[in-house]
Amino acid sequence: MINVLELTGKLLERYETVHGKVDNYFGVLAYWALAQAAEAGDNQEYLQKCIEYLSQYPDNFEHPYYNFEYYRVGGNGRAWLFMKGCMPESEEVLREYAEITYNAPTGQNDILCSPLDKEKEKNLRRIWIDVVYGTTPFMLYAGLALNEEKYIDFAAKQCFEMYELFLDETCGLVHQSKGFLPNPKRISQDHWSRGNGWCLIGLSELVRYLPEDSKHRAKAETYFVDLIDSLIPYQTAKGLWRQEIIEPMAWEESSGSAIFLYGIGIGMRKGLLKGDSYKKVFEKGIRALGTYCLTSDFSTYRSCPGCLSPGEGAEKGTVKSYLTERMPQKDEVHSYGCFMLAFVEAYKNGIYEVEIEGITK
């Protein structure tokens, strides 16, 4: 057995050992998760590690290409720490990058689009659900910390518009993308695990931090509970969710499963998910991460690699391509931060230890 907050630190150490440089949006994800672990456990070592890392942004860091500029300043982790009263020196730079985001190119329904598409007809610009993970929390935290209502409105609008556009009403889950198929007006056919997780992160942060009297709260709570309730029936016997969530023959995927558990944990603590049924789903899922997705050296398993409307030609964005073009990986870069978020919520919901059994098949 290992303490779940200690485990978050071990996962980040594993990330750094295996991949060397921790960067791009998945690196920012891991440090945002570590910052939350630092607060949950009053861990000054974790907090200092986060501050030292995020203080390098934007000027003392060799940046990769970003589709969205908020990653250049440290993304969710930097904005969250500033909102919490840490890193007060971040005010000016966070305002600068919130303004850049607020004025960035948009596509259908004024959803943030690929910046490479800004010369295309607006309705044909590429948009994808992953963007909710970075945009909604960053702009929400910035808006709350800087007392800028327009940023909060922007955070909510991006999340709600994405959810509404990509919602499959037959199952209550969301598709990933629009504009990537041979016909750019069509939406991908998937119900991808981590894509639904990215959407859930946005909704989770809204229900977690929106003021009680916010004009956005009722819709945020409705969409949040609806998505959770649509996910729960698809939890597998092991306690995970599948790469293509509704396909019973699909392989079980860990990073999306971890994000779902993060959201469920928040929902239980906020009183939006009441009753033993949610608790059982949560506990089963947390156990599954330790049993089926981790080994004693803190290697992660079953995580989908980068996945944006995979496939070629007529098969691009099809369920078949999500299942066959992307296969589960060991020590996949997205996995660490997702796992860390889940284990922080485990701690906050009274699960202080998890057993790592190392069964990965």
Query: Domains in the chain and their CATH numbers?
Result: 2-354 (1.50.10.10)
- The residue with greater pLDDT, 13 or 360, is 13
Output the average pLDDT for the chain: 96
Give percent of the chain with pLDDT exceeding 90. Answer: 96
pLDDT in tens, 275-333: 999 999 999 999 999 999 999 999 999 999 999 999 999 999 999 999 999 999 999 99
Question: Is the CB of residue 234 less than 8 Å from the CB of residue 241?
Answer: yes
pTM: 0.97
Q: Of the candidates 276, 284, 187, 274, which has an alpha carbon nearest to the alpha carbon of residue 235?
A: 284
pLDDT band at 22 (very low <50, low <70, confident <90, very high): confident
pLDDT at 42: 97
State the helix-helix crossing angle for 91-102 and 131-146, rounded to 10 degrees: 130
Question: Is the CB of residue 203 less than 8 Å from the CB of residue 220?
Answer: yes
Enumerate residues 6+ apart whose C-beta is below 8 A from 257: 193, 239, 240, 241, 285, 288, 289, 293
Helix (H, G, I), strand (E, B) or coil at 103: coil
pLDDT at 236: 98
Eight-class DSSP state of 251 = P
Eight-class DSSP state of 187 = B
Amino acid letter at 60? N
Within the chain, residue ranges assigned H as helices are: 4-19, 24-41, 44-54, 75-83, 91-102, 131-146, 149-166, 193-209, 217-231, 254-269, 276-292, 319-324, 335-348
pLDDT at 360: 54
Enumerate residues 6+ apart whose C-beta is below 8 A from 163: 132, 174, 199, 202, 203, 223, 227
pLDDT in tens, 205-262: 999 999 999 999 999 999 999 999 999 999 999 999 999 999 999 999 999 999 999 9
pLDDT at 172: 98
